[in-house]
Amino acid sequence: MISKAACFLYIRRTTVIEITDNEGGDNMATPHNKAELGEIAKTVLMPGDPLRAKYIADNYLNDVQCFNSVRNMYGFTGTYRGKRISVMGSGMGMPSMGIYSYELFNFYDVDNIIRIGSAGAFDDDLNLKDIVLGMGACTDSNYASQFNLPGTFAPIADFELLRTAYDAALSANVNVRVGNVLASDVFYNDDNSVNDRWKKMGVLAVDMESAALYMNAARCRKKALTILSISDHLYRNEKLSTQERQTGFSTMMEIALETAVSL
């Protein structure tokens, strides 16, 4: 049963009904997440799109409870193959990912965050729906400036999560690429040559969140991994539809779920 205000009561795989329950009043643990301690699992899958979080809850999790609907950034906890797992949207960009991952790590005692998102491909050998594991996250953001470091920080994935996801992919006979991705602050870049320079350095693909997630995990001594599915190729006229981006990334979702179960 859902015990929080303005969440959703599921009729599984069919529809959702909005309900109101004023138990606990309007108190929220943070301005962005009204979950109480204990309602979020130790491992959280984080798609950018909150509707993708709902899709995962609807189609993969059992005994689902909605723990957050603030700003429509839906969060759900359920079980997958007997393991308690949460899934929550992060929104787009590093400021949004920075807020939600920081709060999960620091206020809700989350240990592992696995980002599952879309990416634009740089590498010529990548195709639509291919899977990329982000071993490192280059960035054009100044997110790291808050830490006042005396040099340049290299945001990287947790090796245990990376290895577990890689093994899960191999077990499912899924070929994955492992390497550097770019987390960019800019979607519409005035510099038309910028992608060429990242590609020249062997960067595989671009998203907009991974570097902030990896830096927050490092600062909090927690674990993070980005698993990306290619939604468009920046050097070919190829892209998935909006609907395919929301519901068509089942391979990526299943690798993330199998990774979470193994932790």
Q: Is 228 helix (H, G, I), strand (E, B) or coil?
A: strand
Q: Is 211 helix (H, G, I), strand (E, B) or coil?
A: helix
Q: Which of 111, 167, 185, 232 is catalytic?
A: 232
With 0-12 / 13-18 / 19 or more C-beta atoms within 10 angstroms meaning exposed / middle / buried, residue 46 is: buried
Helical axes 250-262 vs 50-60, angle rounded to 10°: 70
Tokens of 184: 């960019």
Q: Which residue has the tokens 């959280």?
A: 44
Indicate if 21 belongs to the active site.
no
Tokens of 123: 């590498």
| CA-to-CA dists, residue 191 to 103, 106, 182, 205, 210, angstroms | 34, 37, 16, 17, 22
- What is the Cα gyration radius of the chain? 18
- 239: Cα within 13 Å, side-chain hemisphere: 8
Compute the distance between CA of residue 182 and CA of residue 228 in angstroms, rounded to an integer.
11
Tokens of 87: 């899934």
Among residues 207, 231, 204, which one has the least CA distance to residue 125? 204
Residues taking part in catalysis: 232
